[in-house]
Structure 1
């Protein structure tokens, strides 16, 4: 749901698929910075505005707005409420688990966000890998 603004940008900008490809593979730039550079707007802002207009809570629409601003997950950052940063971190963990299970672990977001997420929740990298493996096994057993 955090990416609901992507649908709006796909409809509005004929070149958005190309911009999306650039944003997904950029190692050094923020996803939303690439969108803004090419389009003058980003999907996180559009998603935030949609969520707000639908009457979702402030913690949800702020999490949507900031879900590519990984530094907000730093324990010393007090830019967002803990509920919002927990939503951002949980979404990133879920997205990574899905990517690994589905064999779609491409893109650079986990490389940029992973250490922030693990630090935010106090998870060691090897423990996270073990949890992802357990999730993968659980889904594989259902198939």
Structure 2
């Protein structure tokens, strides 16, 4: 799939309003991109937004994030995470703040945060993959769904019906009904928020059926491992929540497991264990079983 030109984007976004990029992100990036960014200044900028600050501390202190110590302030968070990870997490939390007030999306964003944190844990155990990129993709990959819920009065009912369709991808069904889809909308949101191009394209491609045994010719080499991690994270999250699996897992599972170096028999055991024991977390299994 290629990037979308400006004219096509305007057509696909007709009737949608992309939330503006918050001032806190603009100022954060201005400081971050200086030759010698100041950590205290970065923390001061984030602290100017009480909602994002509180969400940041809550996120880092949550068990699923996997931090080894509790933090009490944004300044501690910057020192703990570093600039790159801080940037991606703050951007993700700003996206929630920009969308969450318009419709009741708390559960939606809770799921996104869980997938993001599982993705981050997986990436820490896969050579050459940025854990902050994996977190960002986990948070942003379905952000187009939030926008479609706001724009389309019948979308929630449509989504419930679409989840029972085992033959078509969600994006294909969206295209048939709305002449656009949440992956495309998410791509355009990420572009508007100046996300890295490989993250934007991964969002655009995340419902495509991909053979992870073959390289994505012509694409940034960072996209394929990020998509493999996302697919695994989504599946693990479905196991934890005992919910219906993401589309395409059955078809992709063998190539995803092989790509990440995980044995099929080993994974079948953890699937069974996670279904039977709610105390078995994805992070505990990842730390023990995934990696070089």
Give the TM-score taking structure 2 as reference length. Answer: 0.43
Identify the residue that residue 129 of structure 1 maps to in structure 2: 268
Instruction: Tell whether the 8 Å contact from 2:235 to 2:246 is kept in structure 1 after alignment.
Output: no
Give CA-to-partner distance per residue, 1:58-82, whole Å, 9 cap, x none.
1111100000012253415425333
Question: How big is the alpha-carbon RMSD for the aligned residues of Structure 1 and Structure 2?
Answer: 2.7
1:4 to 2:143 alignment? yes
Instruction: Give the corresponding residue for 1:54.
Output: 193
The equivalent residue for 1:139 is 281
Cα distance in 2 for partners of 1:55, 1:72 equals: 29
The aligned counterpart of 1:84 is: 223
Given the superposition, is the C-alpha separation of residues 74 and 68 from structure 1 closer, same or farther in structure 2, using an over 3 Å criterion? farther
Structure 1 gaps, min length 5: none
Greater RCO structure (CA 8 Å; 6+ sep): 1
Corresponding residue of 2:4:
none
* CA displacement, residues 11-58 of structure 1 (integer Å, 9 cap, x when unaligned): 111111122123322212122100100111100000011111111111
Aligned to 2:157: 18
- Indicate whether 1:29 and 2:171 are aligned: no
Separation (CA, whole Å) in 1 of partners of 2:261 and 2:214: 10
Q: Which moved more, 1:123-132 or 1:55-64?
A: 123-132
Q: What is the count of residue pairs matched by the alignment?
A: 141
Q: Map 1:68-83 to 2 at 5 A.
A: 68-71=207-210, 73-78=212-217, 80-83=219-222
Would you say 1:43 and 2:185 are equivalent positions? Answer: no
- For structure 2, the 5+ residue unaligned runs are 1-138, 285-292
CA 1:111–1:62 in structure 2 vs 1: closer, same or farther (change >3 Å)?
Answer: same
The match for 2:252 among 104, 113, 118 is 113
How far apart are the structure 1 equivalents of 2:227 and 2:149? Answer: 23
Distance 1:88 1:113 in 2: 11
Moved more, 89-98 or 102-111: 102-111
- Between structure 1 and structure 2, the one with the greater Rg is 2
Q: For 2:254 and 2:152, how far apart are their aligned partners in 1?
A: 33
Cα deviation, residue 107, structure 1:
5.3
